[in-house]
Amino acid sequence: MLVITGLGNPGAQYAANRHNIGFMAVDAIHDDHGFSPWSKKFKGEVSDGTIAGEKVLLIKPQTYMNLSGEAVGEALRFYKLGPESLIAIYDELDLAPGKARIKTGGGHGGHNGIKSLDAHCGLNYRRLRLGIGHPGDKARVQNHVLGDFSKADKAWLDPMLEALARNADMLVRGEESQLMNKLALATGGKAEEEKPKSAKPQKSHIHQARNSAQPRKLPETGPMAEMLKKMFGDKKDQA
């Protein structure tokens, strides 16, 4: 069983905030995969369903962002699950709007919701970060994250959420690079090319021949040695 949590703040006044992109993401997954109606449990709103043959619990903590871990931690303990069964989806200031990154573990990056998850759930859970961009000035960060997405943001936001929901099976199966490519293409970016495993540059035949050729040992005695001394001099006598 997997638990997928989207982070955000409860209430209509926060619904369209950039900080609530995690809620928006799990709502999109919920609607696309025929999950059960939302119900109240574990200090949050929960819904269960199946993706890629795996039972999945969606949870939107209703504790406000800073206490998100209380709700998610309670759910994990109830089902006797560890952090490896958790996927968190949330907003990322340090990613450009429309960009996405996923990894297991790592730091909280100053995100209070992630701080709370770390404290209540452990560290080694998967983290899907959805970029909302940085306002450029630290003093403007709070108003930025608690501000609503603009109409212009819809050009990348809606395609990203639709692509995430449509390809949630990749998220469940751990096909992370494939999912990142789907999200990049949906928002007008380019898919990242996978580097071949044997990416070492091949040396030219001439270079290989030079390296493989063994240095020839010059004669030190006899007529040939005397002739070479006359032509090039004795290296031992050179300063």
Question: Which residue numbers are catalytic?
Answer: 19
Whether the CB-CB separation of 178 and 192 falls below 8 Å is answered with no
Spatial CA neighbour of 153 closest among 182, 181, 137, 130: 130
Partners of 126 in the β-ladder: 87, 104
Rounded Cα distance, 146 and 14, in Å? 7
- Measure Cα distances from 130 to 61, 73, 184 in Å: 18, 22, 11
Spatial CA neighbour of 44 closest among 16, 22, 18, 28: 22
Spatial CA neighbour of 169 closest among 85, 46, 50: 50
